[in-house]
Structure 1
Amino acid sequence: MSRVPAAYRATQGSILDVDRDFYTRLIAPEARTLVNQLTVPIREGLAWEVPAGHVVRLSTLDGPQVGDFNLWHRHNPRERFWASRTRQLQRAHVSTFDRLWSTLPYLRPMATIIDDTLAGYGQDEDGGRVHDLLGTRCDPYVNKLLTGEDFDHHCHSNLVRAVAPFGLTEFDVHDVLNVFQCTGLNEDDQYFMKACPARKGDYIELFAEVDLLCALSCCPGGDLSVDLWGPDARDPLETCHPIGVEVFRLTPELLDGWEPPTYAPYRGGHGMSAPTVDWTAEKHRRFGSGKQGKET
């Protein structure tokens, strides 16, 4: 394994330099109150809100199952999770103390992972790791290309249906965090997926740094132990399980001194100068002088 250092590295005091003591305190059971509990059914999607300063837990209720996770700022869906930048700033497979970053021009942590029962999985003999940012959601368009068949319960479609009640559309669904999913790159530098190592009761927890709208698809591939495409493909319905969602309110004292992160401070204008406009002349051009003509 290469020991070349990461391109993006934290300096002391930067926003990449996470206060681990603070986030570790947030996992104490006595410091939280359950305020919402939901279940994402197999091969379906669900969306829900998480206020800033709350914790959301995603758990494998009945057995191994992968899920495709999207995030938006609740009050401004143009600010949404940016999987590729998170992959660069954090890692290709995220775990405790990694942060999920938002798109430009906002570029700030939307959520921070504070607990993960699969954190010890590491890298397996095939090079697989869990909680994947390498791939993206399955979708009916690729499936049609590969199989010639229509199927309406791919993760992309599940997410589209889930966010529709919140006024979002297919154009708002974006690249995902594949929770509980084990993936890697093979010797030909091709993306692979393998059976989910999660067991009943495993979970990952995230602290909401801003007001969030979350959406999760319970992948129709189940635990990915069955090939979805290729000569050995078959319906993996028997490997599908629901995913649990819990939202917790934290004891206010725990959040003393914490504030939602601000937007990235760049205000340079990308090297462009704002045009100077003579608004008096512009109004004359658009609307005339505003004087009434003389009656004859």
Structure 2
Amino acid sequence: MNMTDAAYQSAPGGPLDVDRAFYTAIRDRAGNQQHLVEQLTVPIRSGRAWVVPAGHVCRVTTIEGAQVADMNFWNLHDPRERMWAARTRQLQAAHVTEFDRLWSTLPFLRPMVTITGDSLRDYGQDAEGGRVHDLLGTRCDPYVNRMLEDEDFDFHCHSNLTRAVAPYALTEFDVHDVLNVFQCTGLNAADEYFMKTSPAQHGDYFEFFAELDLLVALSTCPGGDLSVPMFGPDAGDTLSVCSPLGVEVFSLDEQLLTGWRQPQRAAYAGQHGMKGHDWTQ
């Protein structure tokens, strides 16, 4: 094993080995193999939340032009189970695409979604080291804005997501590190996080298959396509580079789901060495 190989690996057919034939069939499905069950538009600088039942597909589309989106995922029935960005970076990649999965937090540790469609899958790594669909960074928030700019702004992604999930009895404590869809990022020579203009264009899409019943929330970032810096000496008004996003949820033909079942939560039940321990000693 090369020391620069992925640290987290499993044997062929193991938990990290995705059934590509199954998900390819979903990606390449015909129009008569799906049924639209929900459709909505997320306006600029706002957030929306919606339900994606297990075995359904959700597609996010740039209906007018490039726009970065910050997404959160929860188990619909237990929001303590939510996407774990850090572990997903380790098990999958820091920038995700087709056949990658988004994993949930402990003690659940199971795939919440599998990515089945990505119109930017061939973008790869650009000359500056940028890649798309980012798990490196997290959402912009009004606390950082106040710290760096000394002013309040209530429409950062953290705030947008907070408002979006309020009808589901969730709060900002439930908002977590995000998947930045259509966002192009990397690490510079000083190992610092950078963001650059999104390469998405009108009609680009990002699609995922729900492995569990999910609550999903999306924020249309106030930075728009990130062509105008949000912070620093070159920061400017980003309103003109903001666009809405479209969301569609589809049920699938039962034949496409043959052999699929919802993933089980992690099997570990060792109680962290506390079972039977005499704590009086």
Is TM (by shorter chain) over 0.5? Answer: yes
Between the aligned partners of 2:106 and 2:266, the Cα distance in structure 1 is 9
Between the aligned partners of 2:30 and 2:173, the Cα distance in structure 1 is 38
Between the aligned partners of 2:159 and 2:205, the Cα distance in structure 1 is 24
Alignment partner, residue 116 of structure 2: 114
Alignment partner, residue 92 of structure 1: 94
Shift of 1:137: 0.0
What's the secondary structure of 1:48's corresponding residue? strand
Between the aligned partners of 2:117 and 2:11, the Cα distance in structure 1 is 24
What's the secondary structure of 1:26's corresponding residue? helix
Between the aligned partners of 1:210 and 1:51, the Cα distance in structure 2 is 7
Shift of 1:5: 0.8
- Relative to the length of structure 2, the TM-score reads 0.96
Q: Within the alignment, does 1:257 sit opposite 2:254 as a pair? A: no
* Percentage of pairs with the same residue: 65
Please show how residues 277-292 of structure 1 align to structure 2 within 5 Å.
none
Alignment partner, residue 26 of structure 2: 26
Q: Which stretch shows the higher mean deviation, 228-237 or 6-15?
A: 6-15
Alignment partner, residue 205 of structure 2: 203
Q: Which stretch shows the higher mean deviation, 45-54 or 254-263?
A: 254-263
Between the aligned partners of 1:10 and 1:98, the Cα distance in structure 2 is 15
Alignment partner, residue 271 of structure 1: 273
Alignment partner, residue 75 of structure 1: 77
Between the aligned partners of 2:122 and 2:63, the Cα distance in structure 1 is 20
Alignment partner, residue 56 of structure 2: 54
Deviation digits for residues 85-108 of structure 1 (CA, Å, limit 9, x no counterpart) = 000000000000000000000000
* 2:10 alignment partner AA: A
Between the aligned partners of 1:68 and 1:233, the Cα distance in structure 2 is 20
Please show how residues 1-296 of structure 1 align to structure 2 within 5 Å.
4-27=4-27, 28-30=29-31, 31-274=33-276
Between the aligned partners of 2:261 and 2:217, the Cα distance in structure 1 is 24
In structure 1, list runs of 5 or more residues that go unmatched. Answer: 277-296
* 2:100 alignment partner AA: D
Deviation digits for residues 10-61 of structure 1 (CA, Å, limit 9, x no counterpart) = 3112111000000011121332111110111000000000000000001111
Shift of 1:194: 0.1
Going from structure 1 to structure 2, the CA distance change for 1:126 and 1:3 (only over 3 Å counts) comes to farther
Between the aligned partners of 2:16 and 2:235, the Cα distance in structure 1 is 42
Q: Larger C-alpha radius of gyration, 1 or 2?
A: 1
Between the aligned partners of 1:64 and 1:23, the Cα distance in structure 2 is 26
Between the aligned partners of 2:205 and 2:90, the Cα distance in structure 1 is 24
What's the secondary structure of 1:215's corresponding residue? strand
* 2:9 alignment partner AA: R
* 2:109 alignment partner AA: L
Alignment partner, residue 287 of structure 1: none
* 1:29 alignment partner AA: A
Shift of 1:79: 0.3
What's the secondary structure of 2:122's corresponding residue? helix
What's the secondary structure of 2:190's corresponding residue? coil
Between the aligned partners of 1:3 and 1:114, the Cα distance in structure 2 is 30
Shift of 1:127: 0.1
What's the secondary structure of 1:35's corresponding residue? strand
Between the aligned partners of 2:88 and 2:144, the Cα distance in structure 1 is 24
What's the secondary structure of 1:119's corresponding residue? coil
Between the aligned partners of 1:274 and 1:42, the Cα distance in structure 2 is 55
- Relative to the length of structure 1, the TM-score reads 0.91
**Structure 1 residue ranges (4+ consecutive) displaced by more than 3 angstroms after TM superposition:** none
* 2:125 alignment partner AA: Q
Between the aligned partners of 2:88 and 2:246, the Cα distance in structure 1 is 24
